[in-house]
Structure 1
Amino acid sequence: MKSSNDATLIATFRPWMKVLGRRQRRLWLGSLLMLLTVIAAIGLLALSGWFITATAITGVMLAAGIQSTLDIYRPGAGIRFFAVGRSVVRYVERTYNHDTVLRLLADLRAGMFTAMTRLDERVMGQLRASEWLNRLTADIDALDSLYLRLLAPPLVALLAIAGIGVLLGLFAPGIGIVVTIPLLGLWLWLVVGQARLGLAASRRRIATLDRLRMRSVEQMQGLAELRCYDTLASHRRRLADEEQALYEDQRRLGRYQALGNALVGMGVTLSAVLALWLGARAFSAGEIRGPVMVMMPLAVLAMNEALASLPGGFTHFGSTLAAAERLNGIASLQGAITDPQSADTLPTGALSLDLVDISLDYSGSGLPTEVRSVTPALDHVSLSIQAGERVALLGASGAGKSSVARLAARLIEPEQGQVVIGGKDVGQVTLADLRSRIGYLTQQAELFHDTLAANLRLGDAQADDARLWDVLGIVDLAAWARELPQGLDTWVGESGRQLSGGQARRVALARVLLSDPGLVILDEPFSGLDAATASRIAERLDPWLAGRTVIYLAHDDSVLSQVDRTIRLREGRLV
């Protein structure tokens, strides 16, 4: 490869090598176990060949009446040692290294998730949800081969080749040097040649897999819409095209890997034949004995153990490279929302909210430019909500209500204007302080695959069971929760799948009630509920909302009670 390409490769993998470096001791120990496995294989074949030949020669000499002796105990013990040791070390190596890889993947996934949490909604909007999911799962999983297939095995194989050269050189230096040369050439092809051969196809494969997963997720999520607009057939055709392209590259990579495997078998066999031929010449010249001559090619044959994993790892090198490049792109993203160097502190109690000449069009969010310019989310909006005031912010879908909430929670920055909470510019308040003082019930109830209690305690990790039952009572879920077989310890399923839409919404509302905000933003808090249930919950909410600033986001105020003022938005403008 060219030097510029080498520099690019180093730059691509440098961040991930730093992550691997955190578990440096485990990686070195895992590599040592790999090396010990190869040494045991070489020792088993070499010593077995020497012992069988020495035994045969001794028997022939005894049959011919020639006095001869052979110590069978130490070689026999050595053979048993290598045979048992190879099995034990291989088992320990596989178990240990796979545990190491799982730890590394956890480190990588946690680090990437942490980087994503620092991004604002404008940056997050540059990729679809299915693409973000693919980065966190498939792309990071592709990096498991970085250590287990691309770093440790070639290093172990290189050390094994050097070991073979030294072993043969102890008996005949010339043979050790000559046999090492083709093995080094074979190693070089398996590492560099196979990587270059499969680079394009493996890169295309992971990109195709990304599109295939994305389209599959979107088809499942949007099945009703695709059927409604009669576009399901065309969507399926695109999926079939992606599948066909994936199969073609997989078959191509399969052929390349088969070539590598064939070269391993051929290269090791020819090297063994070369060692046998050179050993036979040295035996004829009286330089070595017969058992050593047989031992040499058998020791070389054991190199299959060290080289066998290289074709598979390096043929798919492009997949690992592409995954690392895409994850580097995610890690390099910088959100516009950061903590200030010198922060102000929000006042205690209810918080006021002021929007001063706010304009927002979600530029850079991934939406087409013509959509952003024609339909701004907010257009020169100014409003003031006093501390302790209850306001209903009304408007149709897309009017800009949720944009006001996101600006208040500083999930996104405006193109123009100023957001002031509690008399402080939100840009001068730390994110932790700001968001701990805002209770925001979003339109989508985010529940995790955990117990009901664990999902509630996201609002307050220190809340005891009595407090959990109190907030469940406010949202009219206490009786339902008491009837569950495991009560608060009942698992809600992935994304709250075990709950109905209305129940999941109320669990999310109960989670907000566990916090102690000065500003409460409730986005359609009673959606999916019948009028009687909504009325009961609204009545029970009043005591908790007392003394707090409250903003209801809704299409109409038919289920809202005790609202001090109504503000209407239409197409991003105040009406």
Structure 2
Amino acid sequence: MTKHPMRSHSELDSAARHAPAFRLRDMFKPSFDLWLISWGLGLITALSMIALLMISGWFITGAALAGMIAVGSHSFNYMLPAGIIRMLAMARTAGRYGELMVSHHAVFDLLKTLRLRFFNRLAALPLTQQRSALQASQYMHRLVSDIDKLDEFILRVISPWLIGGLSVLLLGLFIGWALPIASSFKLIIYVLLALSLVIALLASYNGIAQAKQLSQVSEARRQQLLSPLAIITQLLLWQQWQTQTQGYVAQDNQLQKLQWQAQKRRSVYMLLIQWLFYLAVLTVLFAIYSVTQGGSETTLLPKLQSVIEVPLVLAVTLGLLGIQEIVVPLGQHYLALGNSIAAKDRLNDLLSSSRPTPTPNQTGQAGANTNTNTNTGTVSTSAPKPLHRLPQAPLQAELIYVSAKIEGALVGAKEVSVTVNSGTPLIIKGPSGCGKSTLLQALAGELPLQSGEIQLNGKNWFEYDWQDQLGYLGQQLDIFDQSLAANLRLGKPEASDEELIAALDKVGLLGWLQAQPQGLDTALGEYGAAISGGQARRIALARLLLKPRRVLLLDEPFAGLDAPTRAQLWQNVREHQQQNLLIVVSHHQWDMGLCDSISLPETQL
């Protein structure tokens, strides 16, 4: 999430505060022309399918009757209906293919636009307001999954309702025009067709609350599992896994219960819609029977033909049966509207800047608002009162009985006291689950302090105007589906190719770069899928090393590296940060030179 380099933090924060809340109708703006084309092709597909059934039934029945009744066999036109059937079959196939192509293109364009919009707004908000209830990985998962779920509003609500409603309307008009039956029967048929849409509409309306409940329970279930998984080894060793996962099991049982209820309601709605169409078919047949009532068995067929064409009756019947494929899914996907609304509400809630800023007693940060760029690790702050400028003199950071814990986590950093000086790296060691990464998150401003204080040259750490002078490499990396150069320039937009190559050389990736046919234009894939985890971590680190920063916080920068590469990388990072603060979390042990170190004890439950 990259902030515009020419805009100040106050301007970005002001823009985020005054940005309008996201509305579902905003989804049509990026590609409204494509959606119009998609809906037109979808309507052609639906009408071609219904007309194909109706004309095929009419043609087969008419041909059979022409063969049975010698008087009319010589006048029956076989060629025209056959040609229309072939034309409709081709229209159905071409319309369906075209609709899929256009709608998929529109969906991808929509997702791209939504992601850019929300990520830009996220980058402009104070971090303490963004993440008052979520840690970074949970936040990103929730943000991405909700954006991806928004497309249900168009694909499963707007498009099916638009096509289904018009199809029912046109079929109803055809029945009223073509069938010479009593007006009372026509009215009954219209009412049954309208009820099929009303039931689907009521189902969607009632599904809003149910979809929100499903979403809440699903998210709670996920959160109940994430915290124990983070320390699964310790819980298994201490035989606490069953105890600590009881909340997850309860949420899982509740979710299964809600899903079963949703499935039963879905089946009921689909069945009711189908019954209404069957009743419409029976009404048509009974109306035809009423028209022909009174004729003898020998004169029934001629009388029926004189009053109404038998092929037409079959065509209408097949049309009513065929249109179910269009209307029944409206009941099947009755939760789609609720899912879209729930996703929209969660996104607006996450990106809302109206939450009150935590007080000093709540955060231990003197009420400072912290804004972190997760691509570059940059942390900037803004507060109502003027912030201190970073001193030009050597820095000294002091942690005084600092305790911090991710909300919902069982363990965290507890009462940590240590001093860090410019030019002397601090290595944070300790067993898994002792709070090393949590402590680094607190320093980066991603977590509020539970207690204690962090000072920089005698003043509160969070009262400084960091701007882009604090770099943070966390465990969760942001590698986007862009070129290597584009990912690196998130750390320094104006960096030249030579600077990018120099940064890659510092992290030991120059040889790998030279082996890539496309060089800096090499695509990294979504979430860095085209590269290894170790390469992704070093690319993220190279992004930080593109320019000097007064403070550098690195969480396991040597993961996945062999000993020679690890030693060379450490030497390069030390040289880069030799005049500034460097704090590293690492479980690797070797001769790292002159360093301060602190070992966090294993936290007891």
- TM-score normalised by the chain length of structure 2: 0.67
Aligned residue type for 1:141 = D
1:448 matched to 2:479? The reply is yes
Q: Map 1:460-475 to 2 at 5 A.
A: 460=492, 467-468=499-500, 470-474=502-506
Partner of 2:235: 226
1:165 matched to 2:172? The reply is yes
Partner of 2:283: 274
**For each residue in 1:26-48, what CA deviation from the matched residue of structure 2 results, as whole angstroms up to 9, or x when unmatched?**
22222222221221122122223
- Structure 2: which 5+ residue stretches go unaligned? 1-19, 294-302, 358-368, 372-380, 586-590, 601-605
Q: CA deviation at 1:456?
A: 4.8
1:512 matched to 2:544? The reply is yes
Going from structure 1 to structure 2, the CA distance change for 1:177 and 1:404 (only over 3 Å counts) comes to closer
Deviates more, 1:159-168 or 1:313-322: 313-322
Alpha-carbon distance in 1 for matches of 2:319, 2:568 = 82
SS of the equivalent of 1:309 reads: helix
Partner of 1:54: 62
Say which of 316, 321, 327 aligns to 2:341: 321
Alpha-carbon distance in 2 for matches of 1:298, 1:480 = 64
- Structure 1: which 5+ residue stretches go unaligned? 1-11, 571-575
Partner of 1:312: 332
SS of the equivalent of 2:581 reads: strand
Say which of 109, 112, 116 aligns to 1:110: 116
SS of the equivalent of 2:479 reads: coil
**For each residue in 1:172-212, what CA deviation from the matched residue of structure 2 results, as whole angstroms up to 9, or x when unmatched?**
4835444212110121012214642x555544333332233
SS of the equivalent of 1:127 reads: coil
Aligned residue type for 1:278 = A
- Tell me, yes or no, if the aligned pair for 1:167 and 1:176 is still in contact at 8 Å: no
Q: CA deviation at 1:255?
A: 1.8
Aligned residue type for 2:157 = L
Going from structure 1 to structure 2, the CA distance change for 1:177 and 1:127 (only over 3 Å counts) comes to same
Going from structure 1 to structure 2, the CA distance change for 1:107 and 1:161 (only over 3 Å counts) comes to same
Q: CA deviation at 1:104?
A: 2.6
SS of the equivalent of 1:272 reads: helix
1:550 matched to 2:556? The reply is no
Say which of 72, 80, 91 aligns to 2:86: 80
Q: CA deviation at 1:162?
A: 1.5
1:150 matched to 2:157? The reply is yes
Partner of 1:4: none
Aligned residue type for 1:86 = R
**For each residue in 1:124-167, what CA deviation from the matched residue of structure 2 results, as whole angstroms up to 9, or x when unmatched?**
14114453244224333332321111122122222122112221
SS of the equivalent of 1:440 reads: strand
Partner of 1:35: 43
Going from structure 1 to structure 2, the CA distance change for 1:523 and 1:215 (only over 3 Å counts) comes to same
- Tell me, yes or no, if the aligned pair for 2:402 and 2:415 is still in contact at 8 Å: yes
Say which of 133, 140, 154 aligns to 1:126: 133
Identical-pair percentage: 22
Alpha-carbon distance in 2 for matches of 1:525, 1:80 = 65
1:214 matched to 2:223? The reply is yes
**For each residue in 1:309-355, what CA deviation from the matched residue of structure 2 results, as whole angstroms up to 9, or x when unmatched?**
111111554434333322231132458468989xx9x99x9956899
**For each residue in 1:532-552, what CA deviation from the matched residue of structure 2 results, as whole angstroms up to 9, or x when unmatched?**
988876765677568xx5223
Deviates more, 1:129-138 or 1:525-534: 525-534
Say which of 296, 316, 330 aligns to 2:350: 330
Partner of 1:264: 273
Partner of 2:29: 21
- Tell me, yes or no, if the aligned pair for 1:46 and 1:299 is still in contact at 8 Å: yes
**For each residue in 1:33-91, what CA deviation from the matched residue of structure 2 results, as whole angstroms up to 9, or x when unmatched?**
2221221122122223333343344333316xx78612222222112222232233223
Alpha-carbon distance in 2 for matches of 1:100, 1:276 = 43
**For each residue in 1:391-442, what CA deviation from the matched residue of structure 2 results, as whole angstroms up to 9, or x when unmatched?**
77899998998589647xx9999x9x99999xxx99998x9xx32xx26254
Partner of 2:145: 138
Partner of 2:190: 180
1:300 matched to 2:320? The reply is yes
Q: What's the C-alpha RMSD, in Å, of the aligned pairs?
A: 5.5
Aligned residue type for 1:55 = A
Deviates more, 1:483-492 or 1:173-182: 483-492
- Tell me, yes or no, if the aligned pair for 2:473 and 2:554 is still in contact at 8 Å: yes
Deviates more, 1:263-272 or 1:296-305: 296-305
Alpha-carbon distance in 2 for matches of 1:448, 1:60 = 73
Going from structure 1 to structure 2, the CA distance change for 1:82 and 1:356 (only over 3 Å counts) comes to same
Q: Map 1:482-521 to 2 at 5 A.
A: 508-515=540-547, 517=548, 519-521=550-552
SS of the equivalent of 2:471 reads: strand
Partner of 1:8: none
**For each residue in 1:252-291, what CA deviation from the matched residue of structure 2 results, as whole angstroms up to 9, or x when unmatched?**
2222222222223221121022123224444679654444
- TM-score normalised by the chain length of structure 1: 0.70
Aligned residue type for 2:111 = L
Aligned residue type for 2:322 = A
Aligned residue type for 2:269 = G
Q: CA deviation at 1:302?
A: 2.7
Partner of 2:17: none
**For each residue in 1:89-136, what CA deviation from the matched residue of structure 2 results, as whole angstroms up to 9, or x when unmatched?**
223323432443343333333333333323333231411445324422
- In the comparison of the two structures, how many residue pairs are matched? 528
Partner of 2:251: 242
SS of the equivalent of 2:582 reads: strand
